[in-house]
Amino acid sequence: MNIIPGAVWGLIPARGGSKSIPLKNLTPFVGRPLIDFQILAARSSGIFGRLLCSTDHQAITARCETLGVEVHPRPGHLGADDTPVMDVIADLLEDIHEREGAVAECIALLQPTSPFLLTEHIRWSVNALLADAGAGSAQTVVPCPHNHHAVNQRVIEDGVVDFRFAEQRAAAFNKQKKEKHYLFGNFLVFRAEAALAQKTPFANPSIPIEIPFAHGFDLDAPDDVKLGQALLAAGLVELTNS
């Protein structure tokens, strides 16, 4: 695959078939469609030579075009609930490569359900990846809360609840004894060739960029709209609004 060295493109994967919230990517959030905040942060960062949206829905297409985002029509078979995002990425890269002869060295995944992405999250991550030729990706991460830690997780089998990792939980029964874990934050950027070769956008080795916990918020269910608004009202997060 021909690569444009140093080029960085942004990719917004935004299908129309969400079941948790119908047409979730356009759901109103503090006065704007949810997808707007990724677009605003991407534009404000000044990082991307090209900003694209892969979608299968006309309303999402119309919103992206209104905001000056290039739309790549997504094939119907890539719009299911269980479609791996890597399949969407590969479809877009292979199609553009076939039509234009080359793709950017780095592709950023801009998830519409992460409204608290800030321009500095983008810049920190992209600059870290470009500075390390041996890295496959860079991603924002947030500290995992004590009660969400892997060894604190439970399973229910035959009506009985038990620790999923009982032996590890016995050895690490309090916060001080637990190995520090992290959750995915709100942004991922990867080298196109590494992602295609490894069949994952979280291509290894991956550089961690730690951000505040609240900025890792993901709006996935109806109550998350209220939760996101509460985080804003409490001053725990901020939005890119211009």
What are the pLDDT digits (tens) for 42-74?
999 999 999 999 999 999 999 999 999 999 998
Confidence band (pLDDT; 50, 70, 90) for 242? low
**CA-wise closest residue to 36 among 12, 18, 19:** 12
Q: What is the mean pLDDT of residues 20-31?
A: 92
Structure token pair of residue 186 = 């709100």
Share above pLDDT 90 across residues of the chain, in percent, rounded to a whole number: 83
Q: What is the mean pLDDT of residues 78-92?
A: 87
Q: What is the mean pLDDT of residues 160-168?
A: 94
Burial code (b: 16+ CB inside 10 Å, e: under 16) for 175-194 equals: eeebeeeeeebbbbbbbbeb
| Residue 29: strand pairing partners | 32
Coil, helix or strand for 15? coil
Higher pLDDT, 101 or 78: 101
Q: What is the mean pLDDT of residues 182-204?
A: 97
Higher pLDDT, 142 or 76: 142
Burial code (b: 16+ CB inside 10 Å, e: under 16) for 11-46 equals: bbbbbbebeebebbbbbebeebbbbbbbbbbbbbbe
pLDDT of residue 80: 76
What are the pLDDT digits (tens) for 96-106?
999 999 999 99
d(CA 183, CA 153): 14
Which of 61-65, 78-82, 172-176, 222-226 is the least confident region?
78-82
* Structural domains of the chain ordered from first start: 3-142+183-233 (3.90.550.10), 145-179 (no CATH)
What are the pLDDT digits (tens) for 123-147?
999 999 999 999 999 999 999 998 8
Q: Within 10 Å of residue 218's Cβ, how many Cβ atoms?
A: 16
pLDDT of residue 183: 96
d(CA 191, CA 201): 8
Asked whether residue 174 carries a pLDDT value surpassing 90, the answer given is no
Q: Within 10 Å of residue 75's Cβ, how many Cβ atoms?
A: 12
Which of 72-76, 120-124, 158-162, 167-171 is the least confident region?
72-76
Confidence band (pLDDT; 50, 70, 90) for 2? very high
**In this structure, are residues 190 and 140 in contact, taking their beta carbons and an 8 Å threshold?**
no
Which amino acid appears at position 92 of this protein? L
| Residue 28: strand pairing partners | 33
Mean residue pLDDT across the chain: 94
Angle at 98 between CA 95 and CA 104, to 5 degrees: 75
What are the pLDDT digits (tens) for 207-241?
999 999 999 999 999 999 999 999 999 999 999 87
